[in-house]
Structure 1
Amino acid sequence: MRPLRLLNPVLFAAGLCVLIVSASPACGGSDYVWWEGEDFATSTFPKNNPFSPASLGANAQLLSGGNWLNANGKTGIQPPTASWKIVVPADGDYAFWVRKFWKHGPFKWRFDSMPAGEWRECGPDAALADDTQLKKFVNANWVSLGSVQLPKGARTFQVELILGNGKDWGAGFDCFVLSKGPFTPNGKTRPGVKTGKADDGYFAFEPDSDTFRPDALLDLRFLNEPVAGQNGFLSRHGKDITLGKQPGGDTKPARFWAVNVGLSNATQDRASVDYLARRLAKLGVNMVRFHSPLWSDADPTQIDPKKLDALQYFVAAMKKQGIYTTLSFYFPVWADGQKLGLEGFDGVADKKPFALLYFNPKLQSIHRGWLRQMLTSPNPHAAGTPLGQEPAIGMVEIINEDSLFFWTFSKKSVPAFQWAQLEAIYAQWLTKKYGSTAAAMQAWNGERAPGDAADRPALYEAYHMTAAGVNQGGSGKRKRVGDQVQFLAELQRGFYDTATKYIKNDLKYGGLVVASNWGVADPAMLNATERWTYTAGDVMDSHGYFEADHKGDGSAYSVRVGHTFKDIAPVTVPSLLPLRFQQVADYPQIISEIGFTQPNRYRADAVFLSSAYGALQGVDGMFFFAVGSNYLLDASIQKFQVASPAFVQSFPAAALAYRRGDVTEADPAIHQAVPLPDLWGMKGGFGWSQDALDQFRAKDVPPGAAIAGQVDKIDSLTSYIGPIVRTYGPDASQSAQRDLPRYLNRDAKTIASLTGQLRWDYGKGLAVMDTPCAQGAAGFLAAAGTIATSNVRVAMANDYGTATVVSLDGLPIAQSRKVLVQVMTQDQPTGFRAEGGVVKDLGAAPFGIRKVAGSIELLSAGSGAAAKVTAVDSNGYATAAKVATKPTAGGVRIDLLPDVLYYVITRP
């Protein structure tokens, strides 16, 4: 046995070194017991050490104590065991955690004080509470083992691996902790310990666990209903999503500041789920999108009861904090067509059942079965109320990221047997339209396609439905492709219509249904068609990500040493941002996945821009992808990352301004009427065009006026002027667009909103918001000098960041008695290093935030002498930090502290 590493105070009992550390007051003064995996008393683990400190190089320091107990081997041996000697400081109920090697090495465990023969298990589906990459495919993760009742005194703790038959195995144990107080998983950091580690120019972001005290100066829980759905289901009223019937029978429009979560969040211990719900509400979140499969690994045609139970508890926990849940339960990428029993997948390399849900009866039956089990099973955590009868279920999504118009509509992705089945349905459709397939071929001027049969014309793959594909042939091909597009669109919309009616009529669900959210092979040719199919549901949805030229093996889902990237500020590239929407009239619009991926040091402006320009366009829900740690404190850099401080800690001001509607929704900048025959005629013109302003320059348009008539080109920056709204016919001449050059100057690289509340200089990388209740700026602040809005003067020395001032009481800033000042700069894990755009070191916890420098002046109706300025910590509580202020003729100036992100200003 190696000697235990000791921290004061140290107790010795029964001749054993036992570690008991008194936590800081921030953790409630509770004690914890921590022991290292490698400091075992006994072990039958094989002596091989495949991921020893020597194999990890410098990353060994990411392990607690720089080492761990790990090994691998073949089954057929006795399951390896290990034991440790500890001392429990007092009788009580302890939260128990292990930091281990990912989901590898399922094991059973016990303390000697437990009843004889009682073991508990940590299975291969263990929920990972955080993540630290040690090397490629080797990660250390905290896993909750639940709570355990232990008596005071010397104890023996044992583990035994659970080995599957005929399989290789691997396992690793870094450390264990018993805690009577809050424990926030965050790399190798012990409870209550602040390392203070930060790179030069940064401060360490190491917040205390939030105890949700009532004296918080910044807590947006009040924005949510006391209980989500307390007045009934969400409903659609024209283009708005409204809360259930309010007192008096009125409806109340609502916007949703939301995040994506999954089973990894829902299957955490219940205390962690409750913490996430309360923390999200505090930050201004009022909806989550649960995005995970629920089916059983053993039988994927059936819902797994344990997974469903985790979801049911999760929904109940969110509901208590006024947070709605959207259910996303089917994504073809998660599924295996062969395991689902679908024909044609034997011997096929890609077993993902893309496109099949739209026409395959067996998969449609399985899909309905999932829905039925998910929505009608009694919820034991909500007095038996099933999710389908639960008003806190805001939306149900039919399918995620699939379409008959995307590149996956190909013979590579759809097995030959299934492709033939679809062609048979197509032949029936053609016969109904033309009288026979021969007549259809004649209407196409004899246009032939590979695979044509006399009674069954072949379907083209996705490429042929693009402009390039259509233009490879003459009028006959255009007509033939148009017929195929009409057939596929009616088939896809027909499925959505049938599924929506099943959910609402058969399963009695009272909320909103979302069809899908995917892109198409050629947006200018097919986007309007795709969105038309969604009109069978209640809500228009889309997905969008901004990626900073990230490349390398596995870069689609991970960040690794050796990957290349560029630090690109979203504020400099508006045409590349996922903040441009082509909406459908009288339908709410959401973006259920929006992400600004890592690595990229310039991410803080993304939250500011999402809030401001989502509100300008009247978008009803912004769903950021995705939550990692339930404590919203990630230990390492992740590809899709909400819980890095520059992102999630930017939520409060942005969420408040967005949900309150501080940025006025503009009138449509473009109204586009699209007759359905134009879609089937493959006319295109329904996407972005860089030369769309030319038609304005060629005409004499009075300032503020509009051009009436068909819109066949849409400038890619129009959404930042005002909404783009589309209707489906019947007359394209009913279209109109505003005098766009008045607001958009491509030469100067500036954009102004129709409302006059937003201005954007993307050449300089600066966006400014100026409304009565919310004002501020984002981007390259230092170069801009003093930035003036109606009631705020921002003077930042930081090269890049955001500064936002919002009224907390709903009064205009000039009269508000409680104002939030929020700033943010760059962040990165401590030790993160890149050279020449190549990742050299991923760094580790804690994240650091670049130190803040500058001042903000607030102008008000009277003198600033009576204003009280309080520095607030990341949990919203007042700190003792002294803030230097100076009354000015128009208000008060605040000299920003280097390590403070929030200030609350109160006026008498």
Structure 2
Amino acid sequence: MKINRIRPFRTCSWRTGGAAWALLLAVAAHAQEVPPSTWTFTPERDRFQAGALLDLRYLNEPVAGQAGFVQVNQQGRFVLGNGQPVRFWAVNSSVGHESQWPRGPLWPQGLNDLAHHARFLAKRGVNMVRQHRQISPNLTTHPDAALTDINEAERDAIWRMVAAMRKQGIYTTLSPYWGVPMKFAKNWGIAGGNKQSALGLLFFDETLQAAYKVWLKKLLLEKNPYTGLSLAQDPSLAVFQLQNEDSLLFWTVNAIQGPQREALERRFANFVRTKYGSLDAAWNAWGHSPVKGDQPAAGRLALIDIWQLTQPPPQGGAGQRMADQTEFYARTMHDFNREMVDYLRQELGLKSLINAGNWKTASAERLGDVERWSYLPGDVDAVNHYFGGVHQGENNGWAISQGDRFTSDSALLQPHRLPVNLKQTQGRPIMVTESAWVLPNTHGAEGPFLVAAYTSLSGVAAYHWFATDHDGWAPPHSANGYLPSQQKWTYATPETLGSFPAAALAYRRGDIRTGQPVLLEQRTLSSLWQRQSPRIFEGASFDPNRDTGDGARNGKTIRSAISPDAFLAGPVQVRLGADPVSATYAADLAAWTDKDRIRANTGEIVLDHRLGVATVDTPRTQGVAAHFQRAPQHQLSTLGVRSGNRFGAVMAVSLDDKPLNQSRSVLLQYATQSRPTGWRDKPVTLTLEGGGTAPGWEIESFGGAPWKVVQPELEVSLRNPRLRRATALDMNGMPLAAVPVKREGDTLRLRFPPATMYVVVR
């Protein structure tokens, strides 16, 4: 083990000339470094022993839903059935689902037990699991299936996981349908045939809608044999999603062609006829400007390419036609969502909260608020939004392979890309239903720290980490079990999953306060249809699978009227469909921001995006996530740290609910970085799509199991006269050994021990 000499605590300078820093960082990005000392990550399978000093199962109810169904209060926050406020630290999981697929020879062959999985997650602070399934007929295994058949294997997997999770006090978010994997049979009578994509069709194809209702009836009303309750009766089903990642305001709407596009054009003509009284009246409003494809005699009006709806609105009749098409798309989705909510509530008796959608649009600026308006028939808003960098390679959407090139971005340096920077509809909860610091990114340790801090500040109601197919830790392994590669879609790494306990406890307990709104924007429906630029809009969400070409399509970077710093200062809200005379409220951000730093308006979070440092300082939780090579030392009100690591995240959390300076039991958690054993990369310059270059890395070897974790090089101080001793824990929270401590007056000091992530100080 190699540990650098760490000097005694002193105040470090946080200001250096910008040009000098830029040169230093550019050189450092391409410099070969001495490899840091690492430890081998091979934790024992958790046996959930009584002697664990770290086990957050007590945060959950004995049985999820025992107080009734999760609800939304008047402030737009989640509450349990008894009215108790709740925040959800959530994950996506497919454990117990992969049994219908053969395990490839390069997959780990260990146990994958649902009961173990549920207990493992609860111990680490998880209280919600999202299941993303596909209940439509499986034509691969049942080629003669009828359109109204349900995928019974998928339903059984849903039932089994709901049953396992509820026993550990974990609620479920259920996503049962996605247009991407949906396949059609020739004899089903779907207009357009069996070769077309299903994306967009559920919003208006009546044959598909009727079948979807049958699937939902079979899913929700038949008794779950593992609980004795139907899902409609089960209060552990907290949120039901109508569908995953689909919108008529996304680029995929252009791919709707043939009979389906003709049907959509007829609907548009009917919408226009109803709005104006006749097609002639609409023609007058539009300035008699035809669009190629218009066939009014046949009752069809052409739909303009979605790209034009992402551009500044033109004046006159052409602009009015685009506004009408925008409204038509929005109302088509809104009407479908209203119909489905009514069906679920009135016909099926579902009491769970309903989310209408979680996707993005072709332009966050022009269409983002329009999309959220279409969700209003449901109870909860949602978005899928990942954090990651450039990844270039043949299978870069799903696998990490030799020769791939990538950048390893950090949200500490690019905080405007944080996936929880969300514009929230006033009075409604919003969730992130899929997200992660996507591999091969090396900065996953900042993820739980920043998610806990900024979802608390903004009031984002839940964040679902994506994803896992292991009942515990996920060792490095092939992306599909056959291709020599590494998986990229997992949170179950040492630095991310290992950072759950302190972050989840701080978040769920409410240690980090929600701020006052820094913006409440009032938007009329007319402004939505006209696609007027809002005062602020979310950055384009990142999805490594489906975002190729977005930058080129969106053209130049567009800046909103209000700085995106607002998302990091406090809640950003919008009222959709406001009265035209309502006034937008915007706080003066100058009080909370300067060139390099953004402070939360609670005063509890500070982020320096030039140095790459975030601090949280509250009575019960304090911490630092940092590029320590730039700023190695930090002193908060109780916690002091000095690190010799390049990068990491340290948190101190009271375990007895008392302030840190009075607590008799404190968890210290420290995460660094990890790579598979044998991983090798080299610095290169990447050529970016659309021009430009960026410093990055090329993979020479993607390695294999187990993980190798960078050793902690950290000194900690706690200003607390009651603390006397410290114990290092293993990854299951079991005590390993005493850690030497030193007292200096009211301050206790220690060096974080090697090969561990947790220390309990008592």
Query: Of residues 696, 703, 715 in structure 2, which corresponds to 1:843?
Result: 703
CA offsets per residue over residues 628-653 of structure 1, 9 Å max, x none?
31222333342211111111000000
Displacement after TM superposition at 1:266 (Å): 6.7
Cα distance in structure 1, aligned partners of 2:235 and 2:504: 23
AA paired with 2:702? L
Task: Give 1:380's match in structure 2, choosing from 211, 222, 225.
Answer: 225
Instruction: From the superposition, tell whether residues 221 and 506 of structure 1 become closer, same or farther in structure 2 (CA, over 3 Å).
Output: same
DSSP 3-state at the match of 2:382: strand
- Shift of residue 239 of structure 1? 3.8
Question: Equivalences for 1:318-337 in 2 at 5 Å?
Answer: 318-337=165-184
CA shift for structure 1 position 712: 7.4
Q: 8 Å contact 1:240–1:253 — kept in the other structure?
A: no
- Which residue matches 1:818? 665
Question: In the alignment, which residue of structure 2 is the partner of 1:397?
Answer: 241
Instruction: Indicate the SS of the match to 2:739.
Output: coil
Residues 1:228 and 2:77 aligned together:
no
Map of 1:423 onto structure 2: 265
Q: Map residues 98-497 of structure 1 onto 2, 5 A cutoff.
A: 201-246=37-82, 251-262=83-94, 265=97, 267=99, 272-297=113-138, 298=142, 299=145, 301-338=148-185, 341=188, 343-346=190-193, 348=195, 351-383=196-228, 385-410=229-254, 413-455=255-297, 456-467=300-311, 470-471=313-314, 474-497=315-338
State how far apart, in whole Å, the 1-side matches of 2:674 and 2:326 are: 46
> Which residue identity lines up with residue 872 of structure 1 in the other structure?
L
Cα deviation, 1:553-588, whole Å, max 9, x if unaligned, reads 121222111211012222111122212110001101
Equivalent runs, 1:690-729 vs 2, <5 Å: 713-728=561-576, 729=578
2:614 is the counterpart of 1:772: no
Query: What pairs up with 1:67-86 in 2 under 5 angstroms?
Result: none
Aligned to 2:651, the other structure's residue is in SS state strand
SS at match of 1:409: helix
The one of 403, 409, 426 equivalent to 1:568 is: 409
CA distance in 1, matches of 2:573, 2:534: 14
1:878 aligns to what?
735
Report the counterpart of residue 426 of structure 2 in structure 1: 585
Match of 2:342 in 1: 501
In structure 2, relative to structure 1, the CA distance for the partners of 1:820 and 1:231 (3 Å cut) is same
In the other structure, the counterpart of 2:750 is 894
Alpha-carbon distance in 2 for matches of 1:638, 1:573 = 25
**Aligned-partner Cα distance in 1 for 2:291–2:185:** 29
Deviations 1:731-752 (A, max 9, x none): 365111111122122x3x2100
The 1:666–1:783 alpha-carbon spacing in structure 2 relative to 1, beyond 3 Å, is same
Query: SS where residue 113 of structure 2 aligns?
Result: helix
**Larger strand percent:** 1
2:186 and 2:653 map into 1 onto residues whose CA distance is 53
Counterpart contact for 1:571–1:606, Cα < 8 Å: no
Query: Superposition RMSD on alpha carbons, in Å?
Result: 2.0
Q: Which has the larger radius of gyration?
A: 1
Higher relative contact order (CA 8 A, sep 6+): 2
Counterpart position of 2:603: 756
- Which residue of 1 is the match for residue 718 of structure 2? 858
Q: Give distance in 2, aligned partners of 1:206 and 1:270.
A: 15
CA gap 1:736/1:680 in 2 versus in 1, 3 angstroms: same
Which residue identity lines up with residue 640 of structure 2 in the other structure? R
Could you list the per-position Cα deviations for residues 384-423 of structure 1 after superposition, in whole angstroms to 9, with x for gaps in the alignment?
x11111111011000111011111110xx21310011111
Q: 1:673 corresponds to which residue?
A: 522
Moved more, 714-723 or 642-651: 714-723
Q: State how far apart, in whole Å, the 1-side matches of 2:191 and 2:56 are.
A: 52
Determine the structure 2 residue equivalent to 1:126: none
Counterparts of 2:471 and 2:730, CA distance in 1: 19
Moved more, 572-581 or 765-774: 572-581
Query: In structure 1, how many angstroms separate the alpha carbons of the residues matched to 2:532 and 2:422?
Result: 21
Equivalent-residue separation in structure 2 for 1:446 and 1:554 (angstroms)? 49
TM-score of the superposed pair, with normalisation by structure 1: 0.72
CA contact (8 A) 1:775 1:789 kept: yes
In the superposition, relative to structure 1, how do residues 239 and 514 fare at CA in structure 2: closer, same or farther (>3 Å)?
A: farther
Which amino acid counterpart does residue 714 of structure 1 have in structure 2? I
CA contact (8 A) 1:722 1:753 kept: yes
5+ long unaligned stretches in structure 1? 1-198, 691-710
Pair 1:847–1:270, CA change in 2 (3 A): closer
Q: CA deviation at 1:305?
A: 2.4
SS for the counterpart of 1:480 is helix
Q: Is the 8 A contact 1:258 1:623 kept in 2?
A: yes
Structure 2 vs 1, CA of residues 224 and 339 (structure 1 numbering), >3 Å: closer, same or farther?
Answer: farther
Tell me the residue number matched to 1:512.
353
The 3-state SS of whatever aligns with 2:662 is coil
Helix, strand or coil for the counterpart of 1:904? strand
**CA–CA distance in structure 2, aligned partners of residues 852 and 417 of structure 1:** 61
Letter in 2 for 1:535: L
For the residue of structure 1 that corresponds to 2:136, the secondary structure is coil
Q: Answer yes or no: is the 8 Å Cα contact 2:271–2:328 preserved in 1.
A: yes
1:344 Cα deviation after fit: 4.2
Matched, 1:785 2:632: yes
**SS where residue 870 of structure 1 aligns?**
strand
- Between 749-758 and 561-570, report the one with greater CA deviation: 561-570
Deviation at 1:716, TM superposition (A): 1.8
Displacement after TM superposition at 1:882 (Å): 3.5
Contact (CA 8 Å) 1:646, 1:824: kept in 2 or not?
yes
Instruction: Measure the CA separation in 1 of the matches of 2:638 and 2:388.
Output: 34
Structure 2 CA distance, aligned partners of 1:340 and 1:238? 48
Alpha-carbon distance in structure 2 between the residues aligned to 1:628 and 1:378: 26
Q: Is the 8 A contact 2:133 2:177 kept in 1?
A: yes
Structure 2 letter corresponding to 1:427: A
What residue is the counterpart of 1:133 in the other structure? none
Which secondary structure state, in structure 1, belongs to the residue aligned with residue 354 of structure 2? strand
Aligned to 1:314, the other structure's residue is in SS state: helix
Deviation by residue 1:17-51 (Cα, 9 ceiling, x = unmatched): xxxxxxxxxxxxxxxxxxxxxxxxxxxxxxxxxxx
- Out of 439, 464, 468, the position equivalent to 1:623 is 464
Code of the residue aligned with 1:893 in structure 2: it is R
Q: Is contact 2:422-2:538 (8 Å) kept?
A: no
Report deviation, 1:511.
1.2
* Aligned counterparts of 1:510 and 1:851: Cα–Cα separation in 2: 49
TM-score normalised by L of structure 2: 0.85
Residue 264 of structure 1 and its aligned partner are, at CA, apart by: 5.6
Correspondence for 1:79: none
Deviations 1:716-739 (A, max 9, x none): 221100010111211365111111
Change (3 A) 1:263 1:808: closer
Report the CA distance between 1:327 and its aligned residue. 0.7
**CA shift in 2, pair 1:756/1:447, >3 Å:** same
Counterpart code for 1:631: G
Q: Distance in 2 between matches of 1:851 and 1:811?
A: 30
> Which residue of 2 is the match for residue 868 of structure 1?
725
